């Protein structure tokens, strides 16, 4: 895979599940890409990924119990997992 290709819906779902987030079926997720950014949205999560997958940002959607969204950014993908979390 070239460094700056879009990684696609299936790869995003795989990486998110590796980070221990709840992942819905790919059929329940919407996917879009535009100018170097990919978005994947499920009923529980919104995932934003830089083209090539070097970083991804995961936002848990707010529900009745949560006061606000929880967002985490994962950076420096090494082929298996992300090295840093913000």
What is the pLDDT, as a whole number, of residue 75? 94
- Residues 2-61 have pLDDT tens digits of 567 899 999 999 999 999 888 878 888 999 999 999 999 988 899 999 988 899 999 988
DSSP state of 31: E
What is the pLDDT, as a whole number, of residue 50? 93
Phi-psi region of 68 (alpha: psi -120 to 50; beta: other; left: phi over 0): beta
Mean pLDDT of 57-81: 83
**pLDDT value at 70 more than 80:** yes
Nearest to 77 by CA among 10, 11, 9: 11
For the chain, the domains span: 8-85
Q: Give the contacts of 27 (CB within 8 A, at least 6 positions apart).
A: none
What is the pLDDT, as a whole number, of residue 65? 67
**Lateral strand order in the sheet of 37-41:** 30-34, 37-41, 45-50, 55-60, 70-77, 82-85
Nearest to 30 by CA among 42, 13, 22: 42
């Amino acid at each position: 895979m070239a460094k700056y290709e879009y990684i696609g819906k299936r790869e995003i779902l795989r990486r998110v599940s590796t980070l221990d987030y709840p992942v819905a079926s790919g059929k329940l997720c919407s996917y879009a890409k535009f100018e170097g950014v990919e978005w994947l949205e499920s009923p529980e999560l919104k995932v934003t990924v830089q083209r090539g997958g070097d970083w991804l940002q995961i936002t848990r959607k707010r529900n009745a119990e949560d006061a606000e969204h929880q967002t985490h950014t994962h950076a420096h993908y090494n082929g298996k997992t992300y090295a840093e979390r913000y």
